[in-house]
Amino acid sequence: MSSDLSYREIPFFNYRKAFVHYEEEFVEIFRDVLHRGAYILQKDLEEFEAHLCDFLGVKHAFGVGNGTDALTIALLAADLKPGDEVLFPSHTMVASAGAIVYAGGVPVPVDIGPDHMMDAADLERAITDKTRAIMPVQLNGRTCNMDAIQAVADKHGLFIVEDAAQALGSQFKGKCAGTFGAAGTFSFYPAKVLGCLGDGGGVVTNDDRVADRICMLRDHGRLHDAEIRTWGMNSRLDNLQAALLDFQLRTYESTMQRRREIAAMYEERLGDLPEVVLPPGPSDDPNHYDVYQNYEIEAERRDDLREFLKANGIGTIIQWSGKAVHQWPGLGFDVHLPKTEVFFTRCMMLPMNMVLSNEDVEYICSKILAFYGK
Ligand SMILES: *Cc1c(COP(=O)(O)O)cnc(C)c1O
């Protein structure tokens, strides 16, 4: 084995390098946008929204302040009422549940299935006469089996709002994450697959009525003129950020391809290692097109493995400080989700980003193999 590859530093995510990669183009965009004085709700935002619609095959897209606001706005636009219960998978960022609370709803956590995402089979257990909606989280760049979730939603008359913060371009049966339910949301946080230079988010829908409500909610109750039609918030994606995102969207196909290539390399080198469980490979299941926002594995002796990799210059993380949402005492949940809890004792993330070289991936794999004595 090539475990004698010489030491290299591979941070989990390298924000500086991500900027330097596009430095010239970004500076050119700053100049252009700033010389036009085009900051709020300008043409660069409109163009980005139009391109997002084309890319996703959806009727309406709106840039908003961040992925968390996107969820709150999507839930309110889909007409969530105070006290309505919303089912969400506890294996997610706290933002999924926080947005439900800020939209006036009650977040109800459910367990994960074998794919580590919302378990459609656990949904029925959690449904009460107050349940109004389901929030599947399209985690780590993979889309849930939406047929199974849609079937439960149809049976109980619930609406779906997708948290696709991590899954721009991901598909299930050829349909893009974010386009299945009443509305879907994205985050353009810098470390997301499509990231801006700060906070940013998006909400998409095929429903004209929901679209008007999203539009009004993000901009003080206004539609496309000055008339104040209802109460709204201020959560608009900056025009400058939209311009940066629009530029990166042009090469997004190759971004997705590169991430899938890295996933395939991890699979090829680590796929036979009994001590780890890898995410499904890019060509394992024709129903799924993954964009690999993250590469989350399960590992035996996880904490020792992380220490060993750290000593070898390799940054890894345990997502969300090592706890599922329902496990934070300050949030007041009183529920036991056995599969999620076991998963959090074993999960960790390997580097997965656009500045990784093939040699970096090879180095990471060789160190993991060395740790397990291979
Ligand atoms: C990043 C993320 C969010 C929140 O997005 P922000 O833009 O940081 O507000 C919500 N849900 C999931 C699953 C995320 O990964």
**What's the pLDDT band for 307 if we cut at 50, 70, 90?**
very high
**Which is the closest atom of ligand 1 to the Cα of 200?**
7
Spacing, Cα 2 to ligand 1 middle (Å): 37
Question: Residue 34: is it exposed, middle or buried by C-beta count within 10 angstroms (0-12/13-18/19+)?
Answer: exposed
Pair 62, 214: CB distance under 8 Å: yes
Contact assessment for residue 213 and residue 77, using Cβ atoms and an 8 Å cutoff:
yes
Sign for the CA dihedral angle at 64, 68, 72, 77 comes to positive
Separation CA 277–CA 282 (nearest Å):
15
Share of the chain above pLDDT 90, in %: 97
Model confidence at 1, pLDDT cuts 50, 70, 90, reads: very low
From the CA of 348, how far away is ligand 1's center (Å)?
18
pLDDT at 213 over 70: yes
Cα–ligand 1 centroid distance for 4 (angstroms): 38
Q: Comparing C-alpha atoms, which of 218, 291, 206, 203 is closest to residue 40?
A: 218
Task: Judge whether 119 and 126 are in contact, CB under 8 Å.
Answer: no
Q: Residues 73-130: pLDDT tens digits?
A: 999 999 999 999 999 999 999 999 999 999 999 999 999 999 999 999 999 999 999 9
Residues with CB under 6 Å of ligand 1 are 66-68, 92-93, 95-96, 137, 163, 165-166, 187, 189, 199, 201
Q: What was the pLDDT predicted at 4?
A: 59
108 C-alpha vs ligand 1 centroid, how far in Å?
Answer: 18
- For residue 327, pLDDT beyond 50: yes
| Residue 18 pLDDT class (50, 70, 90 cuts) | confident
Q: How confident is the model at residue 5 (pLDDT cuts 50, 70, 90)?
A: confident
Is 191 exposed, middle or buried, given 0-12, 13-18 or 19+ CB atoms closer than 10 A? middle
Q: Is the dihedral of CA 343, 346, 352, 358 positive or negative?
A: negative
Tokens of 261: 């290539």
Q: How confident is the model at residue 224 (pLDDT cuts 50, 70, 90)?
A: confident
The DSSP element (H or E) to which 204 belongs, if any, is strand 201-205
Ligand 1 atom 5: residue of nearest CA: 67
Which of 112, 166, 197 has most ligand 1 atoms within 8 Å of CB, for mutation?
Answer: 166
Average pLDDT, the chain: 97
